[in-house]
Amino acid sequence: MPADLKSTVRRFYDEINAGNHGVIDELIADDMVEHEEFPGLEPTKDGVRQFFAMFRSAFPDFRMEPQQLIADGDLVCARVAMTGTHQGEFMGIPPSGRRIDVQLVDIIRVRDGEFAEHWGVMDSMTMMQQLGAVPEQAPA
């Protein structure tokens, strides 16, 4: 069973990377609960759809590459590299042409082949520094 869960999660990232946001309707349960708060987005399937539309609009070459997938019961944990080039407005930040390359961790509960819950942690500070919205810290 865990290998199937991992392949389902990997397929989700592959489809998102290809710009196929229809995979959200296919793999995310209608009653999905999003535990990762993102300003202005509801913790629902529609909020997930808006999240990916926002990132694709701001970063047309947006990619999420799973570096490691670990399955345990009905949970899959993914360590992911998120990359893209800032070519559209993002959270009030005008396009800068800068590249982002940040790490994130997704934990997904799969129920009946669909994502029922998601917890995530993204290195937002590094992303904002890479976009030039927050000054980079001097090395210690």
Residues 68-122: pLDDT tens digits? 999 999 999 999 999 999 999 999 999 999 999 999 999 999 999 999 999 999 9
Q: Would you state the pLDDT for residue 139?
A: 62
| Torsion sign across C-alpha atoms 135, 104, 89, 100 | positive
CA nearest to 99, candidates 68, 62, 74? 62
Q: Give 1's pLDDT tier (boundaries 50, 70, 90).
A: very low
pTM of the model: 0.90
Domains and CATH numbers, the chain: 2-131 (3.10.450.50)
Strand partners, 111: 114
